[in-house]
Structure 1
Amino acid sequence: MIPSTPNPAPFPRPPRVRLAGVDIDPFTEQDVIAHVVAELNSGRGGHIITPNIDICASVAKDPVSRRLLRQAEVVVADGMPLVWASKLRGTPLPERVTGADLIWSLSKAAARHGFPVYLLGGPPGVAEQAADELGAYHPGLEVCGVDAPPYDFAETREGRDLVRRAVIEAEPRIAFVGLGFPKQDRLIASLRDDLPDTWFVGCGSAIAFAAGTARRAPEWMRASGLEWMFRLLGEPGRLAGRYLIDDLPFAARLLTRALTHRLLRHYP
């Protein structure tokens, strides 16, 4: 393990943009990669969270989730409504940055710089498939471990300790944790003291996407903010209540407030 050193200056960063009670870094995907590589080379770890409307709606109701967001070193918008709202407010975020994209771009950087990665999440066998796919695209990538814990592992101390020990013993420099928010981020918070020079990415379904066992929305749906519809059509029973009752009204309120803020600023 590389000891943490305070000497090199941190990666320069602009002020965060506050949206829906969440402070978001105005980073491009390439900014995230540059930041993580610089921090890893300096012996510093961190935590990346990629909030979308669903996560923002959860954070608005849950103080524990809010604390997780505040403690993360990098928070980037995985959700076009957040990007739209930032532009309406006059504090534009440069682009959407998703865990499903970061798993590829950070793995490419890891292969180039020799940082071992760890994949945690998905059904049995999926992390292994993702490791094979990532390694095929990025020759030289070292996957130092994979794990697919049972869905209820976090309900017992024994289950949590088993998962934590496996990650700690593998000593990754980058760990992709795809267990869904906030479960994945609570686990990450519990690992930070043991692996202070590791970067953790809360990546949701990214491991399954990388493995090819789950389909992402077409590019045009992602760019137009309709990825939620693609997922809803694929899993209506699980997602209908959350997306239609909670998330859509939340997004509408966010955009309305951003538009009102813009109008009041220009026409007081």
Structure 2
Amino acid sequence: MTVTDLPHDVLRPPPTRSEFLGMPFDRVTFVDVLAAMSARRSDQPLRYVVTPNVDHVVKLSRERKLAFIYDDAWLCLCDSKPIWAMSRYLRGDFGHVTGSDLTARMFGSVLRPGDEVALVAGSEEIAKGMANRYPDLRFRIHVPPAGIAANRDALKACVDFLAAQQSRFAFIAIGAPQSEFIAHTWSRRPGATGTALCVGASLEFMLGLKQRAPQWMRGLGLEWLHRLLSEPRRLWRRYVLAVVPLAGLVVTDIRRSITQRV
């Protein structure tokens, strides 16, 4: 069964879902996801999409209390090429759908002129850039203050903003896990409609504010290395400190698989 076979008002996760490295992932293709997005309307019950990468997986392993925001997502898509590659040998092939590619295709072929789009952006530069680049879309934009992860009032203001819109799609791009937390909280509001996507740095790549890895590096699963070399001061600690926990999760998953087979 593909995601396009699923009723759009189903609350439970799709039957394509299984766990790998402690994170639930859906076995769906990029084509399936685009078809599902194209079919979504602004008046349907709210569903949200998350695209976890290595950083998300490691954070979740350290804070299992965050599991609900991934478990309750309509789609939980594997953004990481290394995780996807490991899954092929350990658990069978998960779909590999990066948030950056999905966001680009959403704006390139799914969104239609006149669509109302809600956007929670990390900066005024992103907000203005998106409005200028896509003048045929009706943007409703909210830029929360810095340090939102520790600011409950600011997080609530984001949810209130989104709940007040009637958008077909909403893009939440203020980092993890705050973007996912906002989407989840909004999805529990009575009468919430539309589709929310937690898209990380995707808008910055689209606008050229950050340079994405060349295609050959993406094909080899080295996009993380390109990002590290592009922003070493900001990212070195995140990537270096993720190596040991990720290795531990892989070992645990291998042991679990062996135990299940015995």
The reply to whether TM is greater than 0.5 is yes
Q: Quick check: 1:25–1:74 contact (8 Å CA) kept in 2? A: yes
- CA shift, 1:123, in A, is 1.9
- CA shift, 1:82, in A, is 1.7
Number of residue pairs the alignment of both structures matches: 253
In the other structure, the counterpart of 2:140 is 145
Structure 1 residue 19 corresponds to structure 2 residue 14: no
**Higher mean C-alpha deviation, range 191-200 or range 171-180:** 191-200
Q: Quick check: 2:173–2:179 contact (8 Å CA) kept in 1? A: yes
Q: What's the TM-score, normalizing by structure 2?
A: 0.83
- CA shift, 1:181, in A, is 0.8
Amino acid in structure 2 at the alignment position of 1:185: E
In the other structure, the counterpart of 2:212 is 216
Q: Quick check: 1:88–1:258 contact (8 Å CA) kept in 2? A: no
> SS state of the match for residue 186, structure 1?
helix
Distance in 1 between residues matched to 2:145 and 2:191, nearest whole Å? 23
Counterpart pick for 2:231 among 232, 235, 238:
235
Residue ranges of structure 1 left out of the alignment (5+ in a row)? 1-6
Amino acid in structure 1 at the alignment position of 2:50: I
Structure 1 residue 197 corresponds to structure 2 residue 198: no
Q: Quick check: 1:171–1:195 contact (8 Å CA) kept in 2? A: no
Counterpart pick for 2:176 among 181, 186, 207:
181
- CA shift, 1:68, in A, is 0.8
Q: Quick check: 1:209–1:215 contact (8 Å CA) kept in 2? A: yes
Amino acid in structure 2 at the alignment position of 1:249: V
Distance in 2 between residues matched to 1:131 and 1:37, nearest whole Å? 21
- CA shift, 1:105, in A, is 1.7
In the other structure, the counterpart of 1:172 is 167
Q: Quick check: 1:122–1:205 contact (8 Å CA) kept in 2? A: no
Amino acid in structure 2 at the alignment position of 1:82: I
Q: Deviations over 1:166-192 (max 9, x none)?
A: 333332121110111101111122222
Change (3 A) 1:223 1:254: farther
Change (3 A) 1:60 1:264: closer
Q: Quick check: 1:122–1:208 contact (8 Å CA) kept in 2? A: no
In the other structure, the counterpart of 1:125 is 125
Structure 1 residue 226 corresponds to structure 2 residue 202: no
> SS state of the match for residue 49, structure 2?
strand
Change (3 A) 1:259 1:84: farther
- CA shift, 1:28, in A, is 1.7
**Higher mean C-alpha deviation, range 29-38 or range 97-106:** 29-38
Q: Quick check: 1:21–1:60 contact (8 Å CA) kept in 2? A: yes
Change (3 A) 1:251 1:243: same
Distance in 1 between residues matched to 2:253 and 2:150, nearest whole Å? 39
Q: Quick check: 2:16–2:26 contact (8 Å CA) kept in 1? A: yes
Q: Deviations over 1:4-39 (max 9, x none)?
A: xxx8776x9552131011110011222112223334
In the other structure, the counterpart of 2:3 is none
Amino acid in structure 2 at the alignment position of 1:237: R
Distance in 2 between residues matched to 1:263 and 1:240, nearest whole Å? 34
Amino acid in structure 2 at the alignment position of 1:50: T
Amino acid in structure 1 at the alignment position of 2:244: P
Q: Quick check: 1:119–1:207 contact (8 Å CA) kept in 2? A: no
Change (3 A) 1:62 1:90: closer
Q: Quick check: 2:22–2:249 contact (8 Å CA) kept in 1? A: no
In the other structure, the counterpart of 1:91 is 92
Distance in 1 between residues matched to 2:206 and 2:124, nearest whole Å? 14
Change (3 A) 1:230 1:195: farther
- CA shift, 1:97, in A, is 1.0
Distance in 2 between residues matched to 1:163 and 1:54, nearest whole Å? 23
